Chain A
Amino acid sequence: MPEAENRLKQLMLLSLGGDAAAYRALLADLSARLRTYYRRRLGDGAADAEDLVQETLIAMHERRISFDRSQPLTAWVYAIARHKLIDHLRRRRIRVAVSVEDCAELFAPDDIEQTAAARDVAQLLATLPDATSEAIRLTKLEGHSIDEAAERTGKSATATKVSIHRGLARLTQRRGGKPDADE
């Protein structure tokens, strides 16, 4: 993080001075990080993720006066990204906990196991029967198709599908939400 912080903050300071090339480089770098962040948080909604990337860039642009030069840039960016994510989830009426300490996630090398999200998911999956959690892990987290997952677990595709559906419904209920109709 210090490497990213130093480099990006330097770009931000130049941008605040009116350097458009530095600003372009800063926004390009941040948009890639934001894309990864939102995709990871929103899962399948990749179109939503891109909308949020753009919304966040616009918010940073319009409200860049709120950046204090004596403070870290990464914390500022992360706070805006998190605010936009929470706002988005609230509009969609999804309730989740977004950790305040995850700033590192936006600026750290990709290691999903270390993120709080991955821990949460692992904990939740552990509450399901082994076959169900395995099927969810294969399809939803590792990106295998239903057929591939069925092959690996030795069940029929239909049974796998049903078990994923039930497992997700149960997780949703356990988290206090209503089961989603289109899940």
Chain B
Amino acid sequence: MQTSDLIDRLATDLRPVPSGAALMRIATGLLVGGVLALVGILLLLGTDLADALFTRAFWMKWGYGLALAGIALWLCLRLARPESAPGKLPFALAIPLVVLAAMAVAELAATPPGERLQVWLGRTSLVCPWLIGSLAIPLFLGVLWAFRKFAPTRPRLAGFSSGALAGALAAVLYSIHCNETAAAFVATWYTIGIALPAVVGLLIGPRVLRW
């Protein structure tokens, strides 16, 4: 095809793009993925809500998950743009973890030494990361769908950020169902659950975000 014909075709195909369209697209992907994840929670875990709903531990989990999700979303929006160099921005993801780890240390220090292991492991440490990782799948697919209209030139980092965003929101959803209350528990097992999709994204980014 002649390039001039191509230009004609593209101009005919032109539809307006509102500002904030990239954010809207990620939000759409997350919304659809989030609904599927909620359905997943109901199917996998039943309808009982956590006893810890709206307690201090609950808000701690939400604070941690939403802080990570906010930073990851910001990263995703940066990496959606081909010319953007995120520099040290990815390391900002460590900030919520450091804060939570400090809380965990303070909490463990106030716990009698004999009970510390029990506080750290809780009752669900073995299933928690896997459930968060599973719930992240539809959210992750939603973000990757959004990236199909983006122009990431750092696919590894974009995959990592997409996975971290999906994992962090999956953790927020999971907390509705989780009765664990210790900061040490959240700092360890939630973090591992969030890291699972992020690492998957890091590995598959160059393949799935190719364009």
> Which residues in A have some Cβ–Cβ distance to B below 8 Å?
15-18, 20-21, 23-24, 27-28, 31, 35, 50, 53-54, 57-59, 61-69, 71-72, 75-76, 78-80, 82-83, 87
Query: Is the beta-carbon distance between B14 and A65 smaller than 8 angstroms?
Result: no
Tally inter-chain residue pairs, CB-CB below 8 A.
88
Nearest residue, chain A, Cβ from B23: A65
Which B residues lie within 8 Å of A78 (CB)?
83
Given contacts A16-B16, A69-B19, contact A23 B81 (CB under 8 A): no
Which A residues lie within 8 Å of B22 (CB)?
65-66, 68
Is B82 an interface position by the 8 A CB rule? yes
Which B residues lie within 8 Å of A16 (CB)?
16-17, 19
- Interface of B: prevailing SS: loop
Which A residues lie within 8 Å of B3 (CB)?
31, 35, 50, 53-54, 57
Q: Which of B11, B150, B211 has most chain A Cβ within 10 Å? A: B11
Give 9 CB contacts A-B under 8 Å: A16-B16, A17-B16, A20-B12, A57-B3, A63-B149, A63-B211, A66-B149, A76-B81, A83-B153
Query: Is the beta-carbon distance between B150 and A66 smaller than 8 angstroms?
Result: yes
Is B8 an interface position by the 8 A CB rule? yes
- Interface of A: prevailing SS: helix
What is the interface residue range for chain B against chain A?
20 to 34
Which B residues lie within 8 Å of A68 (CB)?
22, 81
Which B residues lie within 8 Å of A27 (CB)?
7, 10-11
Nearest residue, chain B, Cβ from A78: B83
Which B residues lie within 8 Å of A18 (CB)?
14-16
Query: Is the beta-carbon distance between A57 and B6 smaller than 8 angstroms?
Result: yes
Given contacts A63-B211, A66-B82, A66-B150, contact A58 B7 (CB under 8 A): no
